[in-house]
Structure 1
Amino acid sequence: MLARDVMTRDVVTVGPETSVRDIARQLVTSRISAVPVVDDGGQLVGLVSEGDLMRRPETGAERHPSWWLRLLAEPETSARDYVKSHGLSARDVMTRDVVTIAEDASLEDVATLLEGHRIKRVPVIRDGKIVGIVSRANLLHGLVARGPVKAPSLDDRALRDALDKAVAETGIRKEFINIVVNDGVVRLWGAVETNAEKQALRVAAEGTPGVTGVEDHVGVLPQMVRAVIWAE
């Protein structure tokens, strides 16, 4: 299996000028822990994670080093930390040196990269533009789907593309779900807002020509989370 086979394709992104408040709201409503930052041309320029928003004066969690640590710190480091904690836009707080992978990266290589860099997710890049994202959860989905099959066939990838189109017709917010196809079997993961959407997703999978089976692991978002989404 390759990164393209398990990645989440409908990636939530923000622009460099997106406010920190809007980014925090996006992380909460989309139930994600990081969001890629792309420029007007769609090129990946950074990543904002929950960790980047931890030490903020608004939350009372801003770090206040002792006076002697301030004396020892390099001016550039202090200035960078200040921008990180007080910046108002993605451009100010984002991590710029983002680790990325290609679509044809093996799951073993992805796992090694996540472990080696101690990160939870990695953007998938084609010609400098983000086409997906692979998280630790996506790797687990691939592990479950893999079974005794060595790799998905080209037919499986065609099924995934066809199913993406079918799901788009249902009107479901696809950023909450992930689809893995292996040996003709579709495995659905993630969450939807209502039972009707859960049923529509299953019907779309079952009705896609070539699908030999559907395993539904999709949950329904709690009312409290749906209220936050609808308020957007």
Structure 2
Amino acid sequence: MKTWNVEDVMTKAVVSVRQDASYRSVVDLLVSHRFSAVPVVDDFQRVTGVVSEADLLRKIEYAGNEEPRLFEGRRRRGERGKALAGIAADLMSSPPVVVLADTPIVAAARLMDTEEVKRLPVIDDLGRLIGIVSRGDLLKVHLRPDDEILQDIEGGVLRAFFADESKTVTVEVAEGVVTLSGRVDRRTTADLAVRLTRQVAGVVEVAGKLDYDLDDTTHVVPGSITY
């Protein structure tokens, strides 16, 4: 069963800025491309940070208010510093939240949620920028055709893990919703088939019912599992 990684959905034609890029040039870039953030790279294309709209807005937020407050916290001091910054190296948030190309899309989605970011620069083993992945890119997996999802379930799940039951289970896919029907030997087999099917890229929901001959979780026979 194929595991979809970041490299399967990322955008490879990525726009970046150098560390010495001016404030105005970064603003122009974000506005012209309708980006909300852009990665910052060094001379070796290694990602050193990310400049976002929020970073750039500090100059407006603190305009005319350059004097620090008494007992000002670290975060506000950092924001005030960005308000006075003129180049990307001083504007950017660092260290950047990045992801490797072979990271599973599930892990990438969790990282975005944890770090509260909308996109992640994609790097190679040397830290060099090779792409960008956004929330929208991760959703591309749910645009897979139903016939491709069907092939993955039949070949990557049933024939790969349940060779004996592959001929007794029927699979139907409609707009990403999978229906499994038929009969297997054990309840644990039915449970595992459902769990593995849910992991196939593009599956929105698993619906239906699988009958089983032996409930090996309670030693009761026979039965069925509805999901």
User: TM over 0.5: same fold?
Assistant: yes
* Corresponding position of 2:128: 129
> More relative contact order in 1 or in 2 (CA 8 Å, sep 6+)?
1
Deviation string for 1:92-130 (max 9, x for gaps)? 110111111111111111111111111101111102101
SS at match of 1:35: strand
**TM-score when scaled to structure 1?**
0.57
Determine if the alignment matches structure 1 residue 28 to structure 2 residue 27. no
Matched residue type, 2:52 = S
Deviation string for 1:159-194 (max 9, x for gaps)? xxxxxxxxxxxxxxxxxxxxxxxxxxxxxxxxxxxx
Determine if the alignment matches structure 1 residue 5 to structure 2 residue 4. no
Determine if the alignment matches structure 1 residue 120 to structure 2 residue 118. yes
Matched residue type, 1:96 = S
For 1:7 and 1:41, how far apart are their aligned partners in 2? 21
| Percentage of matched positions with identical amino acids | 34
* Corresponding position of 2:149: 149
SS at match of 1:24: helix
For 1:121 and 1:35, how far apart are their aligned partners in 2? 9
Matched residue type, 1:55 = R
For 1:110 and 1:20, how far apart are their aligned partners in 2? 30
For 1:45 and 1:21, how far apart are their aligned partners in 2? 20
Matched residue type, 1:144 = L
SS at match of 1:132: strand
Determine if the alignment matches structure 1 residue 48 to structure 2 residue 51. yes
Matched residue type, 2:110 = T
Instruction: Name the larger-Rg structure.
Output: 2
Over 3 Å counting, the alpha-carbon distance change for 1:119 and 1:64 in structure 2 is farther
Relative to total residues, which structure has the larger helix share, 1 or 2? Answer: 1
SS at match of 1:54: helix
SS at match of 1:142: helix
Relative to total residues, which structure has the larger strand share, 1 or 2? Answer: 2
* Corresponding position of 2:109: 111
Matched residue type, 2:72 = A
| Number of residue pairs matched by the alignment | 146
